[in-house]
């Protein structure tokens, strides 16, 4: 399940800057994984050509270091699940992938804004209150009513 | 520093057009919309000037300030500049940063999705970046052009035509809706 901690967080395994963390921690074999390839295609509109080579429509041939902060964070959440990553580096266009990864395994991320998880039902645990929510309205109400973003 | 400033940042592949009007402009929006690439290009220009291959056209000097032990000292030395700060800088949320911003005569462009409750900024100065394909304005087909758009656009509205408006009673609710209908005929037709 996708578990979210809203607001500030103080934990030894919390990574505030997933962009830089990715640059120093990514592994070449990750780019053979189907979900990684699909996430890069969907979020960055880019294609994994081979190993460290990615074709971006705007930037041409790029290395993984030049992927967007959002897709880097998604890949880390999928591949390094012993850490808590700052998912505020992800825009709304990453939400469906967070839910997708969360359907397969338990992942915990930190968020500092109200990400749009769409109109379909989902299952997200808000770690601050322990409540499991199933719709965007339920989630937004829980975050706002409990003042979790301050 | 007051007023409105046009900023054009471009190289042979990508072009950005921004307009900043107040001391704090926030850039948010989807991942992969080019926010960090914009900061990278401004940073390259800061480091190497025209040798970077990046061109910046703006009446004010544009600079990038990033995480370092002496970010406070660096910011306090800046005057009359447009300062870009990317989201991977943890100091953005600090009280010290807010104090520097409040005292500064600089404009700040902050790439940040989280709420920044210690800073005073207008909801109208929160923008996203989007690719534009306006061939009237932009002629190089190979190039990707990006421009700002308001994330919370308070000026746009969608006309609605309710078939029926039910008010609580004939007093305040009814008077209120009738007045709104009179003053905003395009918005509501009762």
Mean pLDDT score, A7-29: 95
CB-CB contact of B128 with A60 (8 Å): no
Confidence grade of residue A133 (pLDDT, cut at 50, 70, 90):
very high
* DSSP per residue, B102-150: HH-SSEEEEE--S--TTS---GGGEEEEEEE--TTT---TTSEEEEEEE
Q: How much is the pLDDT for B182?
A: 76
DSSP state of B160: B
B135 class by beta-carbon count within 10 Å (0-12 exposed, 13-18 middle, 19+ buried):
exposed
Mean pLDDT score, A39-68: 94
Q: How many domains does chain A have?
A: 1
Query: With 60 as the cut, is the pLDDT of residue A113 above it?
Result: yes
Could you tell me the domains of chain B?
Answer: 5-150 (3.40.50), 157-190 (no CATH)
Q: How much is the pLDDT for B132?
A: 82
Domain residues for A102? 2-145
Q: Which residue of A has its CA nearest to B131?
A: A58
**Nearest of B41, B33, B149 to residue A44 by alpha carbon:** B33
Which residues are CB-neighbours of B162 under 8 A, at least 6 positions away? B188, B189, B190
Interface check A144 vs B, CB under 8 A: no
Interface check A64 vs B, CB under 8 A: no
Bridge partners for B19 per DSSP: B6
| Assigned domain for A119 exists | yes
| Assigned domain for A118 exists | yes
Q: Which two tokens stand for residue B106?
A: 């600089």
- From the first residue on, what is the mean pLDDT of each consecutive set of 10 residues in chain B (190 residues)? 94 93 94 93 96 97 91 95 95 94 96 92 92 63 80 74 78 81 59
**Nearest of B64, B104, B103, B101 to residue B84 by alpha carbon:** B64
| Assigned domain for A94 exists | yes
Q: How much is the pLDDT for B165?
A: 80
How distant is the Cα of A111 from the closest Cα of chain B, in angstroms?
8
Bridge partners for B25 per DSSP: B109
3 state DSSP class of B168: coil
Around Cβ B45, how many Cβ atoms within 10 Å? Answer: 21
Q: How much is the pLDDT for B136?
A: 57
| Assigned domain for A63 exists | yes
| Assigned domain for A67 exists | yes
Q: How much is the pLDDT for B186?
A: 54
Cα separation of B166 and B169, whole Å?
9
Query: With 80 as the cut, is the pLDDT of residue A13 above it?
Result: yes
Question: Which tops the pLDDT comparison, A28 or B136?
Answer: A28
Interface check A61 vs B, CB under 8 A: no
| Assigned domain for A150 exists | no
Helix (H) or strand (E) holding B55: strand B55-57
Chain B residues in contact with A59 by the CB 8 A cut-off are 13-14, 37
| Assigned domain for A124 exists | yes
| Assigned domain for A70 exists | yes
CB-CB contact of B84 with B90 (8 Å): no
Q: How far is CA B29 from the centre of its chain?
A: 10
Q: Which residue of B has its CA nearest to A114?
A: B114
Chain B residues in contact with A65 by the CB 8 A cut-off are none
- pLDDT 10s digits, A63-99: 999 999 999 999 999 999 999 999 999 999 999 999 9
Tell me the backbone φ, ψ of residue B26, rounded to 5 degrees: -110, 130
Q: How much is the pLDDT for B190?
A: 45
Cα separation of A84 and A112, whole Å?
13
Q: What is the pTM of this model?
A: 0.86
CB-CB contact of A3 with A125 (8 Å): yes
Q: Count of A–B CB contacts within 8 Å?
A: 63
ipTM of the shown complex: 0.89
């Amino acid at each position: 399940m996708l578990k979210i901690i809203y607001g500030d967080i103080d934990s030894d395994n919390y990574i505030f800057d997933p962009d830089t963390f990715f640059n120093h921690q990514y592994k070449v074999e990750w780019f053979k994984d189907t979900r990684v390839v699909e996430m890069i295609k969907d979020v960055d509109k880019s294609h994994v050509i081979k190993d460290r080579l990615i074709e971006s429509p705007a930037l041409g041939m790029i290395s993984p270091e030049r992927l967007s902060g959002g897709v880097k964070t998604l890949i880390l959440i999928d591949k390094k699940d012993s850490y808590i990553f700052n998912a505020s580096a992800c825009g709304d266009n990453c939400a469906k992938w967070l839910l997708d990864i969360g359907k397969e395994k338990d992942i915990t991320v930190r968020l500092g804004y109200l990400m749009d998880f769409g109109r379909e039902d989902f299952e997200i645990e808000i770690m601050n209150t322990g409540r499991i929510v199933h719709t965007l309205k339920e989630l937004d109400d829980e975050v706002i009513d409990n003042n979790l973003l301050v | 520093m007051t007023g409105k400033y046009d900023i054009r940042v471009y190289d042979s592949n990508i072009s950005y057009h921004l307009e900043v009007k107040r001391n704090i402009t926030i850039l948010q929006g989807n991942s992969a919309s080019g926010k960090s690439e914009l900061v990278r290009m401004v940073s390259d220009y800061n480091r190497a000037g025209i040798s970077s291959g990046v061109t910046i056209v703006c009446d004010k000097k544009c600079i990038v300030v990033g995480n370092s032990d002496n970010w406070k000292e660096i910011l306090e030395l800046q005057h009359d500049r447009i300062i870009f700060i990317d989201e991977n800088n943890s100091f953005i949320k600090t009280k010290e940063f807010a104090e520097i911003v409040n005292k500064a005569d600089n404009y700040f462009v902050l790439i940040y999705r989280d709420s920044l409750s210690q800073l005073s900024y207008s909801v109208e100065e929160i923008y996203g970046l989007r690719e534009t394909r306006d061939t009237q304005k932009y002629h190089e087909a190979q190039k990707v052009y990006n421009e700002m758009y308001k994330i919370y656009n308070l000026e746009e509205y969608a006309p609605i035509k309710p078939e029926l408006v039910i008010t609580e009673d004939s007093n305040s609710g009814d008077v209120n809706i009738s007045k709104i209908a009179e003053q905003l005929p395009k918005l509501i037709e009762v």
